[in-house]
Amino acid sequence: MRTIGYIMPSQNSSRTVNATKTSFEVIEALRELDGAGITDLANHLDMAKSTVHSHISTLEEMEYIVKEGSKYEIGFKFLRLGEHTREQKKAYRMAKPIVKQLAEETNERSQFITEEYGLGVFVHRQIGQNAVHTNTSIGKRIYLHSTGAGKAILAHLPPDRIQSILDTIGLPAQTQNTITNREELYQELEKIRERGYAFNKEEGMDGLRTVGVPILAPDNNVFGAFSVSGPTYRMNGERLHEQIPNLLRGKANEFELKIEFEL
């Protein structure tokens, strides 16, 4: 199974600045290790301690990391950058109240996800009264093919873009229910386009089901997706196949009208 982390774009690889790449590898390692000392970082990255120390010193000087005892940790300066990323597009801001409404009306977990570098990214998330708490933090990247919102997005991307994502990322299994066959996925995407919404039936996590709907921009390009997730014992029957899909499609239509006439 692939680890979802920093994915280097394939284009312009000849222009890659190795020092910059190494700094981001150090940052990603700090996230993965939940903070670490120089020796642990060097071992984790298979780098010389002197190299890691040089990058750590620079990042600390620029206040992007902080030292807590014997460990270095990611600093709050990244929080400002992350918030700017989420707020820089008005449409992203407009999605937030709809995610909140979905959580309140279903009492489940709701989210707005967009695609970047072939992965889904959590932009907004809201926990309903009865929601199952899972590891889905803002900014987390997920595979598109194993999630409801992700498949809703994937189904509405251009065919060459879908092929490029599958060629780059593949179809790694998350559970025994994950679609790992390309032809089977293409058939599933066609069904999603026909009915207007996608299911994730324990394909990303055992015991969890999701319904996702795409958000289409005025130019008919997919902008993102709303979804609602819940445990299998609540997400079944009419609720799974009619009530929540209808609610999501109504909210998606409302949002699409907003971005068409208010942006």
DSSP string, 78-147: HHHHHHHHHHSSHHHHHHHHHHHHHHHHHSSEEEEEEEETTEEEEEEEEE-TTPPP-S--TT-EE-STTS
Burial 140-155 (b: 16+ CB within 10 A, else e): ebbbbbbbbbbbbbbb
Question: Is 199 in the same domain as 93?
Answer: yes
What's residue 4's pLDDT? 58
Confidence band for 245, pLDDT divided at 50, 70 and 90: very high
In a domain, 5, yes or no: no
Question: Is 120 in the same domain as 40?
Answer: no
Cα dihedral: 228, 231, 234, 236 (round 10): 80
Amino acid symbol at 110: S
In a domain, 110, yes or no: yes
CATH of the domain at 140: 3.30.450.40
**Distance of alpha carbon 24 from alpha carbon 16, whole angstroms:** 12
Helix, strand or coil, per DSSP, at residue 75: coil
Domain holding 59, by residue range, is 17-75
φ/ψ (deg, to 5) at 179: -75, 120
What's residue 15's pLDDT? 56
Q: Which of 46, 75, 104 is the last residue of a domain?
A: 75
> From the CA atom positions of the chain, what is the Rg in Å?
20
Write out pLDDT tens, residues 79-100: 788 777 767 777 788 999 999 9
What's residue 16's pLDDT? 62
φ/ψ (deg, to 5) at 210: -140, 145
Overall number of domains in the chain: 2
Average pLDDT, the chain: 89
Question: Is 145 in the same domain as 237?
Answer: yes
Q: Which of 6, 40, 75 is the last residue of a domain?
A: 75
Question: Is 237 in the same domain as 117?
Answer: yes
**pTM for this entry:** 0.78
Provide mean pLDDT across the span 232-238: 95
Q: CA 79 from chain center: how many Å?
A: 17
Helices (H) and strands (E) in the chain, counts: 10, 8
Question: Is 128 in the same domain as 61?
Answer: no
Write out pLDDT tens, residues 20-43: 889 989 998 998 898 999 999 999
Write out pLDDT tens, residues 132-191: 777 777 888 999 999 999 999 999 999 999 999 999 999 999 999 999 999 999 999 999
Q: Which of 25, 51, 75 is the last residue of a domain?
A: 75
